[in-house]
């Protein structure tokens, strides 16, 4: 079998990436590895089955949290008036509860006279009511009068694919300084060509700022904040951290509607999941091993960082509201992402919780679990791995050009590696 040692000019230019890959080595002490596995079968399809998490809580607690995550809400619990889905699993369920899906949300807005992004005011009920300052245009409503329609004035329009949440408890446990160091390494080693942006965003439950890491715009730093935001904006259910609904039209319930504090169960479920596993048999093949070397050599590993270690056990985060337990602390994860914002020429023009310069930046897609997705990039507009790579521009231009210069066998080997993740 031909190996990566035969590579010539396209790979010589990527020496900066070899240096970075040496800093974030893929292989670490097995004792520190985060547990992996697709171990959250849908409970409703497996009556009486046990679900096994990462050890943060016992199986019964984990199973109960998963059941709440899977619960389908009705209007009697506050669904709507505007919403996208009735359950968390509507958007996070491939191949198991908490995984990705090919469900997209719709974001819109426009620029003001100075070129700054503006979240729109969307009119409903034939203009008699409105939803102010909100870039999310919901797909569904509990009554016809509340259905949002996007006017021509909102000419920034994009779809956002739903993200995997498996293993995100480990992501929450990454120290801010680790992400800042990755950003600094990228800039120094690439002479400023690659410069991931680290932003600070509010932690709703802690009243502090912390490094964003969740969502396509890194708009959240904690899983409880993320759960609260999703419950309001995706299901229309108000809660103690987001107690006011987007509209009162057609409402029959009283805010806040999450009287059972389901958002805590959502956060518990996500924090206790294992990280997405690799396809070990495929990864062990000669082609996948060669593809992994190509991945590092042509520059992909600069942003799709192979390994990150979480903060030590006992570290207090989120404004003192969460202490990292043994199950999450000091663990090595392989997200193939840096949890930073980059301009790779595919930015969607939307600003969420970040400064104006993040308008055309998106978070590096973590590649763990990639083999469960068939619509790629933030907007789902790339159906193949090769097409997704070739869309990369801006900060990722050098890596894209190096990929384009590979021969057919080398490209196939790289795709084989990606298909093992």
| pLDDT number for residue 47 | 60
Nearest to 381 by CA among 369, 368, 390, 394: 390
| Distance from C-alpha of 362 to C-alpha of 389, rounded to nearest angstrom | 15
| pLDDT number for residue 83 | 98
Nearest to 44 by CA among 102, 103, 88: 88
pLDDT tens for 106-116 read 999 999 999 99
| pLDDT number for residue 43 | 79
| Distance from C-alpha of 78 to C-alpha of 237, rounded to nearest angstrom | 5
Cα radius of gyration (the chain): 21
Residue given tokens 């507009």 in the structure block: 381
Helices (H) and strands (E) counted in the chain, each on its own, are 12, 16
pTM (2 decimals)?
0.93
| Distance from C-alpha of 30 to C-alpha of 332, rounded to nearest angstrom | 9
Residue given tokens 């965003």 in the structure block: 201
230 burial class (0-12, 13-18, 19+ CB within 10 angstroms)?
A: buried
Answer yes or no: are the C-beta atoms of 365 and 378 closer than 8 Å. yes
| pLDDT number for residue 13 | 37
Low-confidence ranges of the chain (pLDDT < 70): 1-31, 45-51
- Name the 3-class secondary structure at 349: coil
| pLDDT number for residue 49 | 61
């Amino acid at each position: 079998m031909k190996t990566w040692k035969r590579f010539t000019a396209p790979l010589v230019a990527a020496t900066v990436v070899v240096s970075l890959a040496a800093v974030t080595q893929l292989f670490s002490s097995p004792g520190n590895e985060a547990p992996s596995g697709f171990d959250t079968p849908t409970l409703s399809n497996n009556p009486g089955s046990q679900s096994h998490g990462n050890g943060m809580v016992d199986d019964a607690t984990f199973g109960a949290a998963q059941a709440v995550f899977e619960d389908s809400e009705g209007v009697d619990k506050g669904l709507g008036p505007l919403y996208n889905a009735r359950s968390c699993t509507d958007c996070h369920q491939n191949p198991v509860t908490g995984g990705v899906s090919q469900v997209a949300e719709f974001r819109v807005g426009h620029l003001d006279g100075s070129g700054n992004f503006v979240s729109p005011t969307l009119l409903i009920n034939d203009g008699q009511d409105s939803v102010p300052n909100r870039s999310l245009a919901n797909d569904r409503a509990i009554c016809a009068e509340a259905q949002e329609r996007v006017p021509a004035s909102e000419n920034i329009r994009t779809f956002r694919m739903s993200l995997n949440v498996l293993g995100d408890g480990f992501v929450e446990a990454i120290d801010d300084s680790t992400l800042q160091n990755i950003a600094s390494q990228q800039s120094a080693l690439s002479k400023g060509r690659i410069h991931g942006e680290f932003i600070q965003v509010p932690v709703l439950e802690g009243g502090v700022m912390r490094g964003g890491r969740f969502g396509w715009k890194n708009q959240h730093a904690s899983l409880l904040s993320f759960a609260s935001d999703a419950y309001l904006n995706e299901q229309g259910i108000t809660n103690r951290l987001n107690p006011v609904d987007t509209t009162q039209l057609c409402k029959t319930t009283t805010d806040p509607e999450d009287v059972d504090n389901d958002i805590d169960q959502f956060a518990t479920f996500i924090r206790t999941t294992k990280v997405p596993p690799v396809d070990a048999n495929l990864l062990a093949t000669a082609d996948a091993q060669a593809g992994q070397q190509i991945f590092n050599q042509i520059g992909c590993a600069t942003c799709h960082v192979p390994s990150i270690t979480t903060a030590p056990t006992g570290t207090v985060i989120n404004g003192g509201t969460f202490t990292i337990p043994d199950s999450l602390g000091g663990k090595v994860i392989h997200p193939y992402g840096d949890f930073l914002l980059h301009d790779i020429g595919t930015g969607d023009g939307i600003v969420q919780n970040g400064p104006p310069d993040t308008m055309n930046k998106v978070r590096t897609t973590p590649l763990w679990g990639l083999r469960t997705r068939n619509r790629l990039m933030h907007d789902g507009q790339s159906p193949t791995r090769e097409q997704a790579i070739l869309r990369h521009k801006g900060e990722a231009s050098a890596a894209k050009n190096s990929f384009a210069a590979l021969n057919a066998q080398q490209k196939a080997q790289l795709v084989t590696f990606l298909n093992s993740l």
